[in-house]
Amino acid sequence: MRASKYLFSTLKETPNDAQVVSHQLMLRAGMVRSLASGLYNWLPTGLRVLKKVEHIVRDEMNKSGAIEVEMPVVQPAELWQESQRWEQYGPELLRFSDRGQRDFVLGPTHEEVITDLVRREVTSYKQLPLNLYQIQTKFRDEVRPRFGVMRCREFLMKDAYSFHITKESLQETYNVMYQTYTNIFTRLGLDFRAVQADTGSIGGSVSHEFQVLAKSGEDDIVFSTESDFAANIELAEAVTLGERAAPTKMMELVDTPNAKTIDQLVSQFNLSVEKTVKTLIVKGANEENPLVALIIRGDHELNEIKAQKLPEVADPLTFADETEIRAKIVAGVGSLGPVNLNIPMIIDRSVAIMSDFHAGANIDGKHYFNINWDRDVVLPKIADLRNVVEGDPSPDGKGSLLIKRGIEVGHIFQLGTKYSEAMKATVQGEDGRPQTMIMGCYGIGVTRIVAAAIEQNHDENGIIWSTDAIAPFTVAIVPMNMHKSEVVQQFSENLYRTLLSQGVDVIFDDRKERAGVMFADMELIGVPHILVIGEKNLQAGQVEYKNRKTGEKQMISKENLLSFINSQIKI
């Protein structure tokens, strides 16, 4: 590509509205431009990267034996009504009517459409297992699109759906997909972890997320220091060791008029935060118990996913408001606690081993200090309610936990029969009887990979691509004063044509710009191999080479240039 015929659109200044570094760099490098909230135009430099990522994903999916199909972006509402997600899916599901007043959605995912397709096309167990995938535009009407293409509304996704007659067959394909995803992210050169994950609204039982490690990640992921254990914090079990000590002090009612929060309580009364508890009131699962109290240690965080899965608690998890609390408990938020509480309670495992602890007295402006279970209040139901913290024991008993931030780029699910049952997707089994198919589904956020790769690899000069295979161009030719030097021009032109003829994805910066501007652009967009062609060097028989990733510069003799460049390129 000749830069003079290309649309660069690089920016010198970092745009104000971009918060994370990948968004800033994608704007500065001329990769994307916002069209509307959560909608992006992909400029040539961005699209080149996106297409290269897409190519790697497709290639590995094909190798895995999955077969590519393509389903429409626009889907009829009937299928969503059949699976009952028409009611269950929130406003992220964009719904509209066509000119004939028939209801449709913009597909956020394609479980319904593929299940409908397969129930019509596949009739016998002999045709299974089958793993169908597509790489296609998705739309999710995010309440708060942010971080550029990292969490946008329209994006490119690879979604695969597998169909089976037995759970063993599902596990087999699931394992193949786990390995395929590992291959994809390894080939993309990313530092990633596969972690156990919650299945959320997609449904199913077993599930793993593939997380690219990056400080700006929206997910907390949890590892063991000494084993392979890795999980999304949403799912990681909080293990509490130790036993409850015997009471040492009498419980007392204390006036705490200015202590509405744990922080205030601890600092005003010089308490240890590990000796306090928080009492959170949520809606109950049935009408008899409209409110339920969840009690965790003062320095811990409620894990909402865990809480939501409790049979006593309403799904989705909903916190009671001040009015609802006062109507039942009399006291308000800031003065709640287990003693004399008139609603069902569930306490975290770590709360169950506390003694001489402090909590609200269910009287406004008062707390009880030195509460002890059994002595002062009956020990309620115990559950795993909190997020793990660093240093917690690993749930597999090996080592302790570390926490890092991750960007979710892939997610694989064992769906089971959630969709096939609702949509009556059966095949004839070996015994001749209809049998409901068992399903898996496997997603990769192709668009998000581009942003994640940048979050993980960049410096003050711009983007560093994790592999040559996804850089917008592999080699840049930057001629100095080409428009004044015939020698530079001829050498550069010849080099450009030679590299092109060898199939190298090369950008030749033939713009009438200063060498500094051109060089900065090539570094900004992250061309991994940069050749600077100067008259003096040429006269000395040399060309300057810079490796974008290592930052190393070296002089290469003209004779060895092609073989050198070919040895540097790793695709």
The footprint of a second copy (CB under 8 A) covers 5-7, 9, 33, 35-36, 39-44, 47, 50, 65, 67-76, 91-92, 94, 96-99, 102, 104, 106, 113, 116-117, 120-122, 127, 130, 132, 137, 139, 141, 143, 153-154
- Nearest distance in Å: CB 87, a second copy: 16
Nearer to a second copy, 120 or 433 (CB): 120
- Nearest distance in Å: CB 9, a second copy: 5
- Nearest distance in Å: CB 377, a second copy: 45
Nearer to a second copy, 76 or 380 (CB): 76
Nearer to a second copy, 35 or 250 (CB): 35
Q: Which of these, 553, 493, 542, 495, lies nearest to 519 by C-alpha position?
A: 553
Is the separation of the CB atoms in 453 and 440 below 8 Å?
A: no
| 3-state SS, residue 30 | coil
Nearer to a second copy, 37 or 560 (CB): 37
- Nearest distance in Å: CB 321, a second copy: 23
Q: Dihedral, CA atoms, 42, 44, 50, 53, nearest 10 degrees?
A: 180
Residue 69's contacts (CB-CB under 8 Å, 6 or more residues apart) are 114, 117, 132, 133, 134
- Nearest distance in Å: CB 121, a second copy: 5
Structure tokens, 346:
């569930």
- Nearest distance in Å: CB 99, a second copy: 4
CA dist., res. 60 & res. 54, Å (int): 10
Angle at 114 between CA 113 and CA 118, to 5 degrees: 120
Nearer to a second copy, 81 or 554 (CB): 81
Which residues is 39 bridged to in the sheet?
Answer: 36
CA dist., res. 108 & res. 202, Å (int): 11
CA dist., res. 41 & res. 408, Å (int): 22
Structure tokens, 329:
């408990």
Nearer to a second copy, 132 or 296 (CB): 132
- Nearest distance in Å: CB 411, a second copy: 23
Is the separation of the CB atoms in 284 and 315 below 8 Å?
A: no
CA dist., res. 305 & res. 466, Å (int): 34
Nearer to a second copy, 14 or 268 (CB): 14
Is the separation of the CB atoms in 401 and 388 below 8 Å?
A: yes
Nearer to a second copy, 165 or 354 (CB): 165
Going by their DSSP bridges, the two strands 289-297 and 345-348 should be labelled as parallel
CA distances from 13 to 10, 158, 216 (A): 9, 34, 21
- Nearest distance in Å: CB 437, a second copy: 14
Nearer to a second copy, 116 or 237 (CB): 116
- Nearest distance in Å: CB 421, a second copy: 21
Which residues is 68 bridged to in the sheet?
Answer: 133
